[in-house]
Amino acid sequence: MNHPTDLPTRRDLGADLPAVTEDQRHIGVAIPREGTRRLTEGRGQFIDDIELPRMAHVAFWRSPVAHMRITRIERSAAQALPGVIAVVTGPEIAALCKPWVATLAHLAGIKSAPQYPLAMDRATWQGEAVVAVVAETRARAEDALALLEIEWEDLPAVLDTQTALDPATPLIHPELGDNLCFERQLDTGGVDEAVARADAVIFGETYVFGRHTGVTLEPRCQIADWNPGDQKLTVHHSFQAPHMMQDLYCRQFGLQEQQVRVLCRDVGGSFGIKVHAYPDDFATVALSIMLKRPVKFVADRIESFVSDIHAREHRIDAKIVATRAGEILAFEIDDLTGIGPFSMFPRTSGIEGNQVVNLTGGPYKHKAYRARLRVVFQNKTPTCQYRGVGHPIACAVTEALVDGMAMKLGRDPIDFRQQNVIPDDAYPATGASGIKLELLSHEACLREARRLCDYDTLRAEQATLRKTGVYRGIGVAALIELTNPSAAFYGVGGARIASQDGATLRLEPSGALTVMSSVGEQGQGAEAIFAQIAADAVGVDIGRVRIVTGDTDATPYGGGTWASRGAGIGGEAVLQAGRVLRENILATAEAILQRDRQELRVFRGAVVDARSGAVLLELAELGRIAYFRSDTLPKTFTPELMVTRHYAQRDYPFIFTNGVQVSHVEVDTDTGFVRLLKHWAIEDCGRVINPMLVDEQMRGAIVQGIGGALFEECLYDTDGTLRNGNMADYLVPMAAEMPDIVVGHVQSPTRSSMLGAKGAGEAGTAGAPGAVMNAINDALAPFGVRLSSQPITPEKILRALGKI
């Protein structure tokens, strides 16, 4: 096929729902992002593009082993190298920056040990930064790294989650008493009763998920710029949550909020990797304060692999109980997950496992659920939230169990799901794990998925091809995904992470509109959808809207990007501010025109007569008068053409979304290689602001999920060193192996906001591993084998088939 897949056949979904603004012409429409043109011309402003006067570069000597006691650091040769400015160790940094402990009060019992920007006397994972070398260029700093003489004593390393809690296993932090970071048990009751039923059918399996990582193409980077002249710290950061870092820099360095500014401009991919507070971040700030000049840190790829957060290392024993008649009665899981030697700051490394507990079984009606979670420390790179955060695991486990049960009962996988999902008219509902579900559309999405992928044709073709020894599989995964979090996610636990966001809209003298939002842009299109919402909310053309984000000096205070909250929370704030600004414009017009505002409307950049539509006052003229000719206005009236509104989602702990994905694969049973033929995703993220952007979030997220399902894993040697920490050996998905991905939309708006938008950024990652694993198992069904360990490699497939 030599032509592009059709641009979304429906580029305007706005008309499917009641309009949320007057003359709604941008919300719901697939408007391209003109704001990205500069990126196609190589004129972005990524952190490494920024040069500041006297800026220095830091490179870190990182521990080459999993666990060591540092015995000697000889730095004189490194310091003597021309161009080297400073060589700094942990205790020197610790004099400026407090240590931290990453716990949250609402994860009962979670514990971790104090962590410092640079290792103090021990390095506890391969990649932990021990010494900082600051030089005039990065190359110089690396030259100096080679001149450091560092001696250490190897310490035993904890590298196996299954023995981490054994009494014989050394303790990483003896003062903690064991290697357990967090554990949780949940039991609704009823699981054993379900198992004991005469008509009970049980299917159990153990699922293993390989540790992997985000691999943002732009590595982590920042410039810390301490200005001793005004005692102010400015940090340019490739990051998702500037206000969070502003707060942390203050608290760790004893600064006042007004002394710190964090700027996030272009971010070359984040996906959660860039929402955590890394030791490197604090070290770089400390160096700037110490050296009184800007210091830039850009992680190179090799250090990224050992210092970016990892995620998703789980081993889960699971089972599903259903009746012969096909009613799912219960799920049970026992999740063992391995993190690093510290819980990661400030969101903790307990959240991912906590979400696996919360979300397993999510789409289904069952009432009985039992779960145990143990989160254990290891001497490996610390882990934390990465796109999807527990959802990919929970969904893969749930959907594999459901497929396993369907096969045992001789049921079609889609039919079986239709029988057991929470019905579309049963909301609000509470899931077995206690999650509160406002409004989902599992039934509609299953129907639409079946239609979109032409399921019956795929099944017929599968049967025909099997006779010729060609093994294709169709895998279905129903998913739920939390979005628009309330303060229940972090705030209640004591974290100073905002669950509310704000938008300031200002009408400019020329009639242009400036939108300042506390939610930033990392490529997902936040700025574009804010422009669409603002244009409709106020009544101007989108071409006149300018967005400002990522500056703690210039925007309202807010949480930033994570947990798929940008559209739903940031967008609602824009909508509310826009509505009020529209009213204020009308009030100003009333004062100027001396006509009742009830007779006036704002329409496409002008104030018009509400009845006839005649243009009465261009907004540019209104702006001119309001800003420059206050002498012509009634003395009792002051125009307020700049409006700020905030929004927090407070109706539910989370606003869940749902979707269904279908994966079509072909397995070469002689080589174990899997070909991804095609992928479909039906998604319901509530009101869609821009269908093209949602499609692209889905596609990118799906491919990221496929990465974990088939390709990506951090592979460790027996001594705890990473064997594949480079782009050749760590396999990220590239274009040739990825399928075309068709996206369909269902819109069930949330009533927790006027906009009705839920989040869309992570659902793709949540469902893809489950869909692909189910597809592979479906393909191999004639052989009576199943794969349950991700990434699913040719090796694993050949072993399962008994070919090796």
In the complex with another protein, the residue whose CB is nearer, 614 or 736, is 736
Please, what is the minimum distance in Å from the beta carbon of residue 141 to another protein?
9
Please, what is the minimum distance in Å from the beta carbon of residue 480 to another protein?
21
Q: Pick from 152, 271, 652, 680: which binds another protein (CB under 8 A)?
A: 271
Find out whether the peptide bond into 4 is cis, omega within 30 degrees of 0: no
Q: What track of x and - describes contact with another protein for positions 90 through 119 (by CB under 8 A)?
A: ------------------------------
In the complex with another protein, the residue whose CB is nearer, 13 or 333, is 13
Asked if 142 interacts with another protein (CB under 8 A), we say yes
Residues 349-378 contacting another protein, CB under 8 A: none
Q: Of the ranges 239-247, 266-274, 326-334, 568-576, which one interacts with another protein (CB under 8 A)? A: 266-274
Please, what is the minimum distance in Å from the beta carbon of residue 740 to another protein?
6
**Is there a contact between 681 and 744 (Cβ–Cβ < 8 Å)?**
yes
Asked if 784 interacts with another protein (CB under 8 A), we say no
Residues 195-214 contacting another protein, CB under 8 A: 214
Separation of alpha carbons 270 and 650, rounded Å: 27
In the complex with another protein, the residue whose CB is nearer, 4 or 177, is 4
In the complex with another protein, the residue whose CB is nearer, 263 or 498, is 263
Q: Of the ranges 134-142, 329-337, 360-368, 636-644, which one interacts with another protein (CB under 8 A)? A: 134-142
In the complex with another protein, the residue whose CB is nearer, 350 or 725, is 725
In the complex with another protein, the residue whose CB is nearer, 463 or 715, is 715
Residues 219-238 contacting another protein, CB under 8 A: 219
Residues 71-90 contacting another protein, CB under 8 A: 82-83
Residues 463-502 contacting another protein, CB under 8 A: none
**Which tokens go with 81?**
């190298």
The secondary structure element, H or E, covering residue 212 is strand 212-213
Please, what is the minimum distance in Å from the beta carbon of residue 664 to another protein?
15
Asked if 218 interacts with another protein (CB under 8 A), we say yes
One-letter amino acid at 61 equals W
Please, what is the minimum distance in Å from the beta carbon of residue 771 to another protein?
14
Q: Of the ranges 376-384, 480-488, 516-524, 633-641, which one interacts with another protein (CB under 8 A)? A: 516-524
Q: Pick from 117, 268, 340, 341: which binds another protein (CB under 8 A)?
A: 268
**Is there a contact between 371 and 357 (Cβ–Cβ < 8 Å)?**
yes
3-state secondary structure of 452: helix
In the complex with another protein, the residue whose CB is nearer, 2 or 612, is 2
Separation of alpha carbons 590 and 609, rounded Å: 11
One-letter amino acid at 766 equals A
Please, what is the minimum distance in Å from the beta carbon of residue 84 to another protein?
9
In the complex with another protein, the residue whose CB is nearer, 97 or 275, is 275
Asked if 670 interacts with another protein (CB under 8 A), we say yes
In the complex with another protein, the residue whose CB is nearer, 596 or 729, is 729
In the complex with another protein, the residue whose CB is nearer, 510 or 726, is 726
Which of 404, 324, 416 minimizes the C-alpha distance to 363? 416
Asked if 522 interacts with another protein (CB under 8 A), we say yes
**Which tokens go with 215?**
């691999």
Which of 714, 718, 709 minimizes the C-alpha distance to 729? 714
Residues 575-634 contacting another protein, CB under 8 A: none
Separation of alpha carbons 11 and 27, rounded Å: 11
Please, what is the minimum distance in Å from the beta carbon of residue 51 to another protein?
9
In the complex with another protein, the residue whose CB is nearer, 149 or 153, is 149
Name residue 261's beta-bridge partners. Answer: 234
Q: Pick from 407, 444, 492, 738: which binds another protein (CB under 8 A)?
A: 738
Which of 391, 373, 380, 304 minimizes the C-alpha distance to 344? 380
Name residue 123's beta-bridge partners. Answer: 68
In the complex with another protein, the residue whose CB is nearer, 102 or 710, is 710
Separation of alpha carbons 271 and 762, rounded Å: 9
Name residue 644's beta-bridge partners. Answer: 504
Please, what is the minimum distance in Å from the beta carbon of residue 153 to another protein?
25
**Which tokens go with 139?**
């190359």
Asked if 138 interacts with another protein (CB under 8 A), we say yes
In the complex with another protein, the residue whose CB is nearer, 633 or 801, is 801
Q: What track of x and - describes contact with another protein for positions 750 through 779 (by CB under 8 A)?
A: --------------x---------------
Please, what is the minimum distance in Å from the beta carbon of residue 675 to another protein?
12
Residues 8-47 contacting another protein, CB under 8 A: 32-34, 36-37, 39-46
In the complex with another protein, the residue whose CB is nearer, 374 or 472, is 472
One-letter amino acid at 620 equals A
Buried b / exposed e over 605-617, threshold 16 CB at 10 Å, is: bbbbebeeeeebb
**Is there a contact between 694 and 760 (Cβ–Cβ < 8 Å)?**
yes
Q: Residues 435, 440, 441, 445: is their CA dihedral positive or negative?
A: negative
Please, what is the minimum distance in Å from the beta carbon of residue 691 to another protein?
10
* Placement of tokens 């593009």 in the chain: 49
In the complex with another protein, the residue whose CB is nearer, 5 or 510, is 5
Please, what is the minimum distance in Å from the beta carbon of residue 210 to another protein?
10
Asked if 787 interacts with another protein (CB under 8 A), we say no
In the complex with another protein, the residue whose CB is nearer, 103 or 704, is 704
The string of DSSP letters for 352-408 reads: HHHHHHHHTTTTB---EEEEEEEEE--SS--B---TTTTHHHHHHHHHHHHHHHHHH
Find out whether the peptide bond into 428 is cis, omega within 30 degrees of 0: yes
Please, what is the minimum distance in Å from the beta carbon of residue 2 to another protein?
5
One-letter amino acid at 639 equals P
Residues 414-473 contacting another protein, CB under 8 A: none
Pairing of strands 56-62, 295-298: parallel
Residue partners of 128: CB distance under 8 A and separation at least 6: 62, 63, 119, 279, 307
**Is there a contact between 774 and 404 (Cβ–Cβ < 8 Å)?**
no
The string of DSSP letters for 60-105 reads: EEE-SSSSEEEEEEE-HHHHHSTTEEEEEEHHHHHTTS--B----T
Residues 294-353 contacting another protein, CB under 8 A: 300-302
In the complex with another protein, the residue whose CB is nearer, 720 or 733, is 733
Residue 664 phi, psi dihedral angles, 5° rounding? -120, 120
Please, what is the minimum distance in Å from the beta carbon of residue 566 to another protein?
13
Please, what is the minimum distance in Å from the beta carbon of residue 550 to another protein?
13
Residues 144-163 contacting another protein, CB under 8 A: 146
In the complex with another protein, the residue whose CB is nearer, 452 or 731, is 731
**Which tokens go with 771?**
């869909």
The string of DSSP letters for 319-337 reads: EEEEETTS-EEEEEEEEEE
Residue partners of 736: CB distance under 8 A and separation at least 6: none
The secondary structure element, H or E, covering residue 195 is helix 191-196
Alpha carbon separation from 326 to 201, 202, 407, 443 (Å, rounded): 9, 11, 11, 16
Q: Pick from 183, 225, 266, 352: which binds another protein (CB under 8 A)?
A: 266
Asked if 5 interacts with another protein (CB under 8 A), we say yes
Asked if 274 interacts with another protein (CB under 8 A), we say no
Q: Pick from 11, 12, 17, 48: which binds another protein (CB under 8 A)?
A: 48
Residues 675-734 contacting another protein, CB under 8 A: 692-693, 695-696, 699-704, 711, 713, 715, 723-724, 726-729, 731-734
**Is there a contact between 693 and 26 (Cβ–Cβ < 8 Å)?**
no
**Is there a contact between 158 and 719 (Cβ–Cβ < 8 Å)?**
no
